[in-house]
Structure 1
Amino acid sequence: MYVARWHLTARFGHKDDCLKLLQRWEIDVANRIGWRPGSIRIVAGGIGAGDTDIELEVRIDGLDDLESAWRDMAAVPYQAEYQKQLSELIVAGSSRWTVHQIVDFSTKAS
């Protein structure tokens, strides 16, 4: 299992608008590519992070799932409009993806 994180930096004064747009994007785009509400989380900067830092996290089984989702995303009719709207709310060049492996410590060592 992995967590893929989409890192964004909202433009000053646009964090709330960015978060609202991402919430709508989750319904209109993410659900259509198979990302269910239980597998997605949106977090925003708090203590030790920039106030305008935003991360959208999605749990995935493997890297093939992420690549497939990105391909499917391009076919969703709403995606292009969301990209345009989002580009007006975030700092240019701040968008990036990182992928982290989930480490399970719940099993007891033998």
Structure 2
Amino acid sequence: MMIARWSIEARFGHKPEVIAEMKRWLRDIGAQVGWSEQRVRLLSGSVGAKESTILSEIEIADLAELDAAWHKLGTLPDHAAWSKALEPHVVSGTQRWEIFRIIG
């Protein structure tokens, strides 16, 4: 098992909008690639982390599953539209993927 972590930075004063868009993505788009609410958790920066950071952690079986999900996301018009809706609320260029192995 692995955790795929996607993070992004909200623009100053836009954190509520980013969180709302992330929740909408999970409900409307993530489910289309098999990323149910039981497999994903959303986090935001608090102590020792930037308050503007929004994280999405997705539990995946392996890198093949992640690759298949990314491929399918690239074909979904809803995902492209969501990205355009999110853009005004985030700091450009801050999106980042990190992949972790679960060891215990």
TM-score (norm 1): 0.92
Which residue does 1:9 correspond to in 2? 9
Which residue does 2:50 correspond to in 1? 50
Task: Give % identity.
Answer: 34
Deviation at 1:77, TM superposition (A): 2.4
Residue ranges of structure 1 left out of the alignment (5+ in a row): 105-110
Instruction: Indicate whether 1:23 and 2:23 are aligned.
Output: yes
Tell me which amino acid in the other structure corresponds to 2:31. Answer: N
TM-score (norm 2): 0.97
Aligned residues: CA RMSD? 0.7
Residues matched between the structures, number? 104
Tell me which amino acid in the other structure corresponds to 1:27. Answer: R
State the 4+ residue runs in structure 1 displaced beyond 4 angstroms: none
Larger deviation, residues 7-16 vs 68-77? 68-77
Which residue does 1:85 correspond to in 2? 85
